[in-house]
Structure 1
Amino acid sequence: MGEKAGPSSDHSGGLGLEPVPRVHLPICDCTSVQRDLSFILFSVPSSPHLTPIPRKRTIYKSVCLSLALLVAVTVFQRSLTPSQFLQEPPPPTLGLQKAQKPSGHRLNPDNFWKNPKDVVTPAPTFSQGPQAWDVTTINCSANINLTHQPWFQGLEPHFQQFLFYRHCRYFPILLNHPEKCNGDVYLLVVVKSIITQHDRREAIRQTWGREQESAGRGRGAVRTLFLLGTASKQEERAHYQQLLAYEDRIYGDILQWDFLDSFFNLTLKEIHFLKWLDIYCPNVRFIFKGDDDVFVHPTNLLEFLADRRPQEDLFVGDVLQHARPIRRKDNKYYIPGVLYSQASYPPYAGGGGFLMAGGLARRLHHACDTLELYPIDDVFLGMCLEVLGVRPTAHEGFKTFGISRNRNSRMNKEPCFFRSMLVVHKLLPTELLAMWGLVHGNLTCSRKLQVL
């Protein structure tokens, strides 16, 4: 800003005040000035007959008097502090800024004259998500514009129904248990279930879904939750809802949202749980997510996690590579070409059961929100992982298609194989209870598979 100011005798404290210019007075007889000043201020002509003062002398005295007054005012001003000039209160905006005390960039008096572009500004902060479930009403209507599309007319009715409401992502929560994440939670076990399958939930509570206050080795608790929608049949909904409410009063482990339980809505369970986790469980280390017809060996899960860190991009399970969309209409997993035109899916873990780190799960929630819903839930999660650039890790201990893909194989009933696994799909409730008893009983095996 122009030339650098030279040293001055004013003590403005670096507040940017202009130095008072020096005044050079002409040399005069100060005694004479004082005498003349007293004469002007206090002498009153007593008679009109007094001899008038010569004009030149009067002008000279006036000049000296003015200069003397200027010197007096200057000295008086310099004796005051800068704050004494602020007789009025600061503007309201300045008072507000002082009250807020922003924690970012603070204005330094030494930087007051710097160009604003040279001042470092704080990094932008991203708004945090909701502190509670923020969807309280169902406000969703069918996208009838699709009926005018030629390709839409040729789709099967259940695909048309899916596409009609594909844009409806989040629904109100009916049963909620945020207290499940209170304290130090090491592993959160999350099970997808439907309202009519109480027997499966009960079998899980008695076996691998049993909660623990400590995962051992100084680790936190193991907690269990079941994810549900509402009954798909209107005539049964009220009856089953009453039974579910009673079950939840007993166990307090059910999360339920107000959407229909159906195959295509399994993807809704994925995104609803991820959002719920992001809101209520910021400190959970790991999550196991599985179906209600699988066998899980909790001891093996915890042993596998012993050397893992929650900060890792851990997503491990029975991974499918280069899987192709099924185009046969008689198949449960049929996908029409208009819905997915690529030749293969990104890598994904079978939805029967997988493990993921808590930090990755929270990032996964935001990644999934960038994609349109897809009717196959485990494929959809693979797409979300692809958005993050994370590849799921395959592990031999996850058997979401059975220990042997041949359903009639005796290996699928052999408890010694189950004792070495982490997850095996699939078993009925009675089979789960029986296998759990065998694996945790006096079982003698010729050798133990090393899969951890």
Structure 2
Amino acid sequence: MRLKPRQNLQASPSPSPGPGPGSVELSDGTCTFRLNYAAYQAEFPQLQSYRCRELIPGDGVCSGPLGQPLLLLAVKSHPASTARRATARRTWARPRLLGGYRVCPVFLVGVSPDPWHMGLLEEESQEFGDVVLWDFAESHPNLSLKELCFLRWVGARCGQADFIFKGSTGVEMIRWSRPAFLKKVFVVGTVVVVGMVVVVVGAGLGSGGFGLLWTLYIKLRQNLQASPSPGHGPGSVELSDGTCTFRLNYTAFQAEFPQLQRYRCRELIPGDGVCSGSPGQPLLLLAVKSHPASTARRATARRTWARPRLLGGYRVHPVFLVGVSPDPRHMGLLEEESQEFGDVVLWDFADSHPNLSLKELCFLRWVGARCRQADFIFKGSTGVEMIRWSRPAFLKKVFVVGTVVVVGMVVVVVGAGLGSGGFGLLWTLYIKPRQNLQASPSPSPGHGPGSVELSDGTCTFRLNYTAFQAEFPQLQSYRCRELMTGDGVCSGPPGQPLLLLAVKSHPASTARRATARRTWARPRLLGGYRVHPVFLVGVSPDPRHMGLLEEESQEFGDVVLWDFAESHPNLSLKELCFLRWVGARCGQADFIFKGDDDEFVNPPALVTYLSQTPNASQVIHGNIQRHSVVMRAGKYRVSSTLFPQGKYPFFPSGGGFLMPRASIPALAAATERIPVFPLDDVYFGFLALAAGLRYRHDDRFRVFSMQDELCQYAESLLVHGVSLDRVEEVWSGLYKEQRCNGMGPLPS
């Protein structure tokens, strides 16, 4: 097969006297295409009106030696596709020199409502510098916005690219071949010509093979074969448990169970609401393998042991793990169950015995992506007859015909018969109830200089200055210095109480601040309160961002800038310096809302909440995290050397909380004796504990996921992780179009 480069098919618009205003007519010499603007505006108005705004600009992607031609691999990706990007970076999307070309990837991403995905994406961007993020939501129609904005991004930031390959993270492998060998390719997929580079998608090899694999050959998932692995070389894995050694050979697995090796988890029913609920209660998740045909078994389980309930301080909730059945009746009933109970996760593989391993694989990934708040997970099947819970002391009376699983201090007896002594007390879940967790600081004589000890009545926390100084010296030694002081933020008539909206922001987040000022962070009078924003910012190395920030400060006067660099650990410096700034420059603020710039905040609801809550000025209000488990890996990693305990004190989630003026002096004083912890919301929890402050939890501080319905926003005090376009849509729907009962226009 011989391939010739395509002729230039760039559409040349032809004047179109017939179609009239609002339409464009194009011709490629064979067909004529007419595009009518009015129709597009009516059906997809958000696509026509969108203006590209980068949240992560990918400035360094195309930098490099000018003498080497650049082949840019532009890869469409979703924020949730962390694993796919990691695999691509380790294999075909790794920056390298090939055949005189500098090959470099860039991942093109829109916004996800899941803050966990966005946090991981930000970490990737900081580590690899190969992400461009725009502020539109990820969706199928918005892939066209990705196309539009990428073309403009290339023109503005990557004009030095000689060739551009455009693909997605669904690509499994890229190999390289000289064009001269393309005559030996039997094409089973698609041939795409990009300049003089020929991309063969889904291609098999001709009889002559590819002796010199140098330019571009892509083999998609359906044709991917495992490499042979003689001996212990590539293609095999060896594991040992100290007694036995186990060798797993990829070639054998690929030959016998190819569908298991190449499957990529895709959810048809995602089970989004399974793990939602009050974050203050620990969650025990009952993960139950089930077949679509097992309708009766699931119904029995839901009426008995798999019924959602509160037990011994734990929130117990089931989730049924299901694959696809060819019987449409079973699938229809499963869909009805999902809508009624919301406790089903369905993947697109067929339910079969070998595919139970896919259920295991995909469930682990599902938990990591959608149910990280589960404290313990029981894994079983609908064949389980009953689950009973027992104090460990009673286990000697149990005759086990099934399995005993020990989860922490909870013993799960699956399919158990009763021993001769019976289970006198085995009728419910025994978990030691949590003690009263109200914080009351206790001085710590005896630990000497260099450490602080705090107790909340249940847990004792020891903070060792030496460990903090060794691991985060810059946090301990920093002295707050303002580059922009925000002097005018809190000025105003003394007779009106002030609700200050203190918003953590990055210099690069110009668009987010602009959206906030047009909507919820606009200064106004509400319910007798004067509401005013202040944006809390550190320094960026990018002079463009700092220049725009200076212009904002001059125009709006609502920016406070400190001289530390913006980073995740330095958010704690922002906490420290803000408390001191309030004490020095804004003592007249009656209440302070503290939040982020990537959320929807509802000031009218905040004012109503304050007026209707008894003793609102005596507690801190928020979504209170109760003794959260310390994470030893990932973005929120804290080393055991720095903090050896396994749990944190209570703290309000940093997505947004309210504190009264009376709390500020005690919090500011606590900053003098508590070392600066590298997680800002945990740091606040230690300060509040040292200050002896109390909390009030309210679920309307929606710092986690929420059903994206307009009137749900009306009932919320804040919703975290909302795209810019959605913030504007919600604000307009609530307070301009008044589409929810009780919503009215706001004062200007």
TM-score (norm 1): 0.57
1:169 to 464, 478, 482: 478
1:211 to 523, 534, 538: 523
How far the C-alpha of 1:368 sits from its partner, in A, is 2.2
Q: Comparing both structures, which one devotes a greater share of its residues to helix?
A: 1
Aligned-partner SS, 2:688? helix
**C-alpha RMSD of the superposition:** 2.4
How far the C-alpha of 1:241 sits from its partner, in A, is 1.8
User: 8 Å contact 2:469–2:476 — kept in the other structure?
Assistant: no
Matching residue of 1:415: 710
Q: How does 1:54-69 map to 2 (within 5 A)?
A: none
2-structure distance, mates of 1:260, 1:186: 30
How far the C-alpha of 1:308 sits from its partner, in A, is 5.5
Matching residue of 1:322: 627
2-structure distance, mates of 1:239, 1:261: 15
How far the C-alpha of 1:332 sits from its partner, in A, is 0.8
Matching residue of 1:433: 728
Deviates more, 1:240-249 or 1:368-377: 240-249
User: 8 Å contact 2:502–2:592 — kept in the other structure?
Assistant: yes
2-structure distance, mates of 1:267, 1:325: 17
2-structure distance, mates of 1:312, 1:367: 19
1-structure distance, mates of 2:742, 2:498: 31
Matching residue of 1:346: 649
* 1:132-152: CA deviation from partner (whole Å, max 9, x where unpaired): xxxxxxxxxxxxxxxxxxx98
Q: How does 1:307-386 map to 2 (within 5 A)?
A: 307=612, 312-327=617-632, 329=633, 331-386=634-689
2-structure distance, mates of 1:384, 1:371: 7
Matching residue of 1:283: 588
2:561 to 232, 235, 256: 256
Aligned-partner SS, 2:618? coil
Q: How does 1:98-113 map to 2 (within 5 A)?
A: none
2-structure distance, mates of 1:207, 1:161: 44
User: 8 Å contact 2:663–2:693 — kept in the other structure?
Assistant: no
How far the C-alpha of 1:244 sits from its partner, in A, is 1.2
Aligned-partner SS, 1:180? coil
* 1:394-436: CA deviation from partner (whole Å, max 9, x where unpaired): 1021110122xxxxxxx1x211111111011111212211222
The one-letter code sitting in structure 1 at the alignment partner of 2:511 is D
2:505 to 178, 189, 193: 193
How far the C-alpha of 1:160 sits from its partner, in A, is 9.5
Q: Structure 1 residues 311 and 170, CA, compared in 2 at 3 Å: closer, same or farther?
A: farther
Matching residue of 2:538: 229
Higher gyration radius (CA)? 1
How far the C-alpha of 1:310 sits from its partner, in A, is 8.4
User: 8 Å contact 1:288–1:355 — kept in the other structure?
Assistant: yes
The one-letter code sitting in structure 1 at the alignment partner of 2:531 is V
Deviates more, 1:315-324 or 1:175-184: 175-184
How far the C-alpha of 1:391 sits from its partner, in A, is 2.9
Aligned-partner SS, 2:536? strand
Q: Comparing both structures, which one devotes a greater share of its residues to strand?
A: 2
How far the C-alpha of 1:283 sits from its partner, in A, is 2.0
User: 8 Å contact 1:311–1:360 — kept in the other structure?
Assistant: no
How far the C-alpha of 1:181 sits from its partner, in A, is 1.7
1:305 to 610, 634, 637: 610
How far the C-alpha of 1:288 sits from its partner, in A, is 0.5
2-structure distance, mates of 1:295, 1:190: 14
User: 8 Å contact 2:733–2:739 — kept in the other structure?
Assistant: no
Q: Structure 1 residues 311 and 208, CA, compared in 2 at 3 Å: closer, same or farther?
A: closer
1-structure distance, mates of 2:692, 2:480: 29
User: 8 Å contact 1:368–1:381 — kept in the other structure?
Assistant: no
Matching residue of 2:490: 181
1-structure distance, mates of 2:693, 2:671: 13
User: 8 Å contact 2:471–2:642 — kept in the other structure?
Assistant: no
2:597 to 292, 297, 309: 292
Aligned-partner SS, 2:535? strand
2-structure distance, mates of 1:193, 1:356: 19
Matching residue of 1:387: 690
Aligned-partner SS, 1:178? coil
Aligned-partner SS, 1:271? helix
* 1:33-64: CA deviation from partner (whole Å, max 9, x where unpaired): xxxxxxxxxxxxxxxxxxxxxxxxxxxxxxxx
Matching residue of 1:424: 719
Q: Structure 1 residues 211 and 160, CA, compared in 2 at 3 Å: closer, same or farther?
A: same
Matching residue of 2:423: none
Q: Structure 1 residues 225 and 264, CA, compared in 2 at 3 Å: closer, same or farther?
A: same
Matching residue of 1:58: none
User: 8 Å contact 1:208–1:297 — kept in the other structure?
Assistant: yes
2-structure distance, mates of 1:191, 1:207: 14
User: 8 Å contact 2:595–2:656 — kept in the other structure?
Assistant: yes
Matching residue of 2:381: none
The one-letter code sitting in structure 2 at the alignment partner of 1:225 is V
How far the C-alpha of 1:334 sits from its partner, in A, is 1.0
* 1:227-258: CA deviation from partner (whole Å, max 9, x where unpaired): 00000x4xx2x332222111211111100000
* 1:129-180: CA deviation from partner (whole Å, max 9, x where unpaired): xxxxxxxxxxxxxxxxxxxxxx98xxxxxx9996232322323210012222
2-structure distance, mates of 1:192, 1:394: 22
Q: Structure 1 residues 164 and 363, CA, compared in 2 at 3 Å: closer, same or farther?
A: closer
1-structure distance, mates of 2:579, 2:738: 38
Aligned-partner SS, 1:226? strand
The structure, 1 or 2, with the larger RCO (C-alpha pairs under 8 Å, 6+ apart) is 1
Deviates more, 1:172-181 or 1:186-195: 172-181
The one-letter code sitting in structure 2 at the alignment partner of 1:392 is Y
How far the C-alpha of 1:370 sits from its partner, in A, is 1.2
Q: How does 1:126-141 map to 2 (within 5 A)?
A: none
1-structure distance, mates of 2:672, 2:511: 34
The one-letter code sitting in structure 2 at the alignment partner of 1:180 is V
User: 8 Å contact 1:195–1:230 — kept in the other structure?
Assistant: yes
Aligned-partner SS, 1:272? helix
Q: Structure 1 residues 293 and 393, CA, compared in 2 at 3 Å: closer, same or farther?
A: same
Unaligned runs of 5+ in 1: 1-150, 153-158, 404-410
How far the C-alpha of 1:286 sits from its partner, in A, is 0.4
* 1:278-303: CA deviation from partner (whole Å, max 9, x where unpaired): 01122211001100011111111000
Matching residue of 1:44: none
Aligned-partner SS, 1:364? helix
User: 8 Å contact 1:295–1:423 — kept in the other structure?
Assistant: yes
